Amino acid sequence: MRLNVTVNGEPKQADDVWEGESLLYVLRERLGLPGSKNACEQGECGSCTVYLDGVPVCSCLVAAGQAEGHDVRTVEGLADGDTLDPVQQSFVDAGAVQCGFCTPGLVVAAHDLLHRVPDPSDEEIREALAGNLCRCTGYEKILDAVRNAAATS
């Protein structure tokens, strides 16, 4: 089937999309946006987190057809040109990256948190990031990054 979806503000079209395909697959394999990562494919790890109509979701659990006519914002759509979003910059500054695989999902989840709660408590940060797994066990730096982003934005 053909899929029409707005991604990072631009109307996109993908052809020959299989009806059981996930939004994640469409983003990575058909639209050339590999920022969202494919890890668990069961909503456990959060590495594929994107905004769907402004709400963070696991794109591996969204059927491609469910995104038809909707608005998707991926990690690639957070920066303003060459200027990183404050959350991205904070992850760089804090060294909140080890292997980097979980980073895009964490960045989107943290971005959403700070949009909803500009000055979150540690508990609120932990709760908001509970669906994003980092297997390099780098959570302390990630918490630092979110705290710094909140303080500077």
Partner 1 sequence: MDFLRPTTLDEALALKAERPGAVPIAGGTDVMVELNFDHRRPEALLDLTGVAELAEWSTSDGQVRLGAGVPYTRVITELGDVLPGLAMASRTVGSPQIRNRGTVGGNLGAASPAGDTHPVLLATGARVEVASVRGGRTIAAEAFYTGVKRNALEPDELITAVHLPPASGAEQFAKVGTRNAMVIAVCSFAVVLRPGYAGVALGSAAPVPRRAAEAERFLVAELPWQTPVPLADSLKRAFAELVAGAADPIDDVRGSAAYRRHALGVLARRALTWAWDDYRNNGGERQCA
Helix (H, G, I), strand (E, B) or coil at 23: helix
Pairing status of strand 55-58 against strand 10-14 = unpaired
Residue 62: DSSP 8-state: S
Give the binding range for partner 1 (CB under 8 A) out of 26-34, 77-85, 86-94, 122-130: 122-130
- For residue 120, give both structure tokens: 């979150």
Give the whole-angstrom CA distance, residue 93 versus residue 72: 27
> Least Å distance between CB 20 and partner 1?
5
With respect to partner 1, which residue has the nearer C-beta, 93 or 131? 131
Q: How far is CA 39 from CA 44, 46, 100, 132, 148, in A?
A: 9, 9, 12, 11, 28
Question: What is the x/- site pattern for partner 1, positions 49-88, by CB under 8 A?
Answer: x-----xxxx-xxxx-xx-x--------------------
Give the binding range for partner 1 (CB under 8 A) out of 28-36, 38-46, 80-88, 96-104: 38-46
> Least Å distance between CB 87 and partner 1?
16
Name the residue among 14, 13, 22, 107 with its Cα closest to residue 58: 22
> Least Å distance between CB 151 and partner 1?
22
Indicate which single residue of 5, 7, 8, 46 sits in contact with partner 1 (rule: CB under 8 A).
46
Q: Which residues of 59-75 are buried (b: 16+ CB within 10 A; e: fewer)?
A: bbebebbebeeeebbbb
Q: Does 13 bind partner 1 (CB under 8 A)?
A: no
Contact residues: partner 1, CB under 8 A: 1, 18-20, 22, 41-44, 46, 49, 55-58, 60-63, 65-66, 68, 109, 112, 127-128, 130-133
